[in-house]
Amino acid sequence: MGKLDGKVAIVTGATSGIGRRTVEIFVAEGARVVATGRRSDLGKSLQESLGANCLFVTADATNEVDVKGVIDACVSKWGRVDFLFNNAGGPAPVGGIETILVEGFDAAMASLVRSVMLGMKHVAPVMIAQGGGSIVNNGSVAARRAGMSSSMIYSAAKAAVTHLTVCVAMQLGEKNIRVNSISPGAIVTGIFGKALGLPPGEADKAAANVKAAFAANQPIPRAGQPEDIARVAMFLASDDSLFVNGHDIVVDGGLVGGKMWTAHQQGLNGMRQALGLDAV
């Protein structure tokens, strides 16, 4: 018996990375899933690999007509939507504030914030009518601390996502709809390469190259993996989280917790030596 038996889910940005792995795990746990994304070839391969419990719909998460079409397709196919994971997103302009082009700023806000708003806007009436549901928005540790992203615009957009999540949770919670966010830390996906200029396909293939660097970022001595996020999404989609609403769950191996113990102790020893004391 799977943890998501009988559940119907929508996952946006499902052609690679966190989204794709989430779809795979959800189907393995008994859910029926509508997966969406812009890269039709990758979406179709996902559908073919998972069989009848996965339907891929080509869609742009920033386009309101497309977003409504995805939700309508899910209701038409399986009669309901129990869970929506607003996972779609992308890189944002890098550099100092004086270098940011308005066009790049607007595109990033559309990709990272408008997409989340549209998903919630159009799934809410369905979930209200059926008596409940769960929505999860993909945030980031970059929303909590400056310098956690290659882009300050990305950080600001994700801060908007996590606060919008809480605002909507206060509204929809009254209708038995839980709204939460997940904030990943250093997860091995193609988004980092895309942010620095690699084409999407190349960025996805090169993602594994950052594993060693990511392993040293936080107390847990390994790089984060897409399934680390997918399994928290599964918890929020399941009935195990029926009383969890309006929260941002950080999945980062301890990255934002503070200074790592070893580095802290090395700093203290340096201070002891500067004061003429013996190092410990």
Residue 203 domain-assigned? yes
Residue 230 domain-assigned? yes
Residue 2 domain-assigned? no
Given a cut of 70, whether residue 191 has pLDDT beyond it is no
Residue 123 domain-assigned? yes
Instruction: Grade residue 203 by pLDDT with cuts at 50, 70 and 90.
Output: low
Query: Over pLDDT 90: what percentage of the chain?
Result: 85
- Chain-centroid distance of CA 212 in Å reads 22
As a whole number of angstroms, the distance between CA 179 and CA 78 comes to: 22
Maximum distance among all Cα pairs of the chain, rounded to whole angstroms: 74
The CATH number that applies at residue 20 is 3.40.50.720
| Summary mean pLDDT of the chain | 94
At 84-105, the pLDDT tens digits run 999 999 889 999 999 999 999 9
pLDDT for residue 212: 83
Q: Which residue among the candidates 83, 154, 192, 214 is catalytic per the annotation?
A: 154
Residue 199 domain-assigned? yes
As a whole number of angstroms, the distance between CA 126 and CA 84 comes to: 11
Given a cut of 90, whether residue 39 has pLDDT beyond it is yes
Phi, psi of 205 (to 5 degrees): -70, -35
Instruction: Grade residue 193 by pLDDT with cuts at 50, 70 and 90.
Output: low
Residue 78 domain-assigned? yes
Which has more confidence, 248 or 205? 248
pLDDT for residue 274: 93
Query: Over pLDDT 70: what percentage of the chain?
Result: 95
Residue type, 128: I
Q: Please count the structural domains in the chain.
A: 1
At 108-159, the pLDDT tens digits run 999 999 999 999 999 999 999 999 999 999 999 999 999 999 999 999 999 9
As a whole number of angstroms, the distance between CA 84 and CA 27 comes to: 14
Given a cut of 80, whether residue 15 has pLDDT beyond it is yes
Residue 280 domain-assigned? no
Q: Is 154 a catalytic residue?
A: yes
Q: Please give the average per-residue pLDDT across 57-81, as a whole number.
A: 98
Query: If DSSP states are collapsed to H, E and C, what string results for 199-267?
Result: CHHHHHHHHHHHHHHHHCCCCCCCCECHHHHHHHHHHHHCHHHCCCCCCEEEECCCHHHCCCHHHHHHH
Instruction: List the domain range (segments joined by +) for residue 152.
Output: 8-274
Beta bridge partners, 10, equal 34, 84
pLDDT for residue 6: 96
Residue 185 domain-assigned? yes
